[in-house]
Structures are given as C-alpha cells and as structure tokens.
Amino acid sequence: MAKKKKTKESEVTVQAQPVNPILTTEYKYRRDQCMMCAELPIIEAKWANGMCHSWFCDVHYKEWEEKNANYVEYIKKIINNEASKSFYDNPNPNIKGTETSFAVRFIMYRNDDTSYWHIILDAGQHIASDDNPLEKDEISFYFKQHPGLRQLCELIDFGTVTILMDRELIKKYDFRGNKMVGIYEATADSKDSPFWTLKKVEVPKENKDA
C-alpha cells in the first residue's frame, strides 16, 4: 500500500499518548493496589482523552501527575481503598477542572448584519465562530463578545461543561449538552493570534475499564 498522508486524526492520537511510565514498565492491574507499588490506591484518574483509567498511591500519583498533567481530565478520590471498576461509578466529585453551564446560540446582529455561532460559558468564556460547532468537528473561532444589537438569538443547545484545562494557548472542555457532547480541545498558534481552533477529540464510547 502506498504511504498514507499523516492525517489530523493520527496527530491527535500521538498527542493523546504521552510517554507514560506505567505503560512502559510492568505494572499491576489490581484495583486494591497502586499500579506502581503495593500501597493502597488513593487517587484514580481518567486521562488521555478518556482512554485510560489509572490509580495510584499518593506518592506515585504525584510523580505520575507531574509527567502527565496535560493529559489528565478527571481525578477522583478512591472510595474504600479500591479503584472503581468503571471510573464513572465513583460518585466522588472530580477534583480537576471547573464545572459550569453553557449555551450554544446563533445570534444575528442588527447594526452590521453579521451573525455568529456562540458557545457561551457561564464561567466567562465566550466563543464566537462563523461555523456551527454542532455541524463541524473542527471550527475556527475567536474569544469575543459582540457589542451590537441582536435581531435574532436562537438557543441551539445547553448543558454543563467542565473546563479541563485553561492555559494561554490550549484549553480543553468536556461538554455535556444535548447535542454538544464530548471532549473538545481549543488551541491557538501564538498568543498574538486572535484565531483559535476548536476540535472534537475522539473519545471511545464507554471504554470504561481501559
């Protein structure tokens, strides 16, 4: 077969697979022990865009988190000294990220005849794009609020969102709306550029015991 061009999907995969000591060394898969030693597990994490579920004692968690902070989406305290069978079964709150509500709106402005799709996060972020985020897996956008008079404001979707990462050039969201669902990554090439890209990161469905 001819050489395949590197696709965006494979770039995502490469990005989502950090060099991780637990994947390169032998580790246990006992839910009542840290994956890297025989201590009781204290913390469990869902990471690598929802693909991996790991648990550690305090010491090994800190060590591991330092290397993988960019790839960790959820962290929960373990109940009864045993990692959950499925991460989502653990009723403890997620310690990482900020939870807020959001709405997707299509807004047309009277003064200059412009229209934008907006994703408005109640935590204060305002994403504006020429493209409908529910119809495209990747959109270009900027963080802005239009000051104009609205002549049409249509609610497209709403729900809760967890801001998993909020850095200067990269942000990560876990949207739980009716239509907007999944982990999205927003990136900018440089801090001088007003343009950002928002793309859906593939999450294997209910891959709970990974």
CA-wise closest residue to 143 among 161, 124, 122: 124
Query: CB–CB of 61/50 below 8 Å?
Result: no
- Within positions 8 to 67, which residues make up the interface with Zn ion, using CB under 5 A? 34, 36-37, 39, 57, 60
By beta-carbon proximity to Zn ion, the closer residue of 60 and 171 is: 60
By beta-carbon proximity to Zn ion, the closer residue of 30 and 167 is: 30
Nearest-approach distance from CB 66 to Zn ion, in angstroms: 14
Nearest-approach distance from CB 146 to Zn ion, in angstroms: 51
By beta-carbon proximity to Zn ion, the closer residue of 37 and 181 is: 37
Nearest-approach distance from CB 62 to Zn ion, in angstroms: 10
> How many residues lie near Zn ion (CB under 5 A)?
6
Place of tokens 């999205």: 184
By beta-carbon proximity to Zn ion, the closer residue of 39 and 166 is: 39
Would you mind telling me the total number of residues written for the chain in this entry?
Answer: 210
Nearest-approach distance from CB 61 to Zn ion, in angstroms: 8
Dist. CA 203–CA 28, nearest whole Å = 25
Dist. CA 14–CA 123, nearest whole Å = 30
Token pair in block for residue 37: 């030693």
151: three-class secondary structure by DSSP: strand
Binding site for Zn ion (CB under 5 A): 34, 36-37, 39, 57, 60
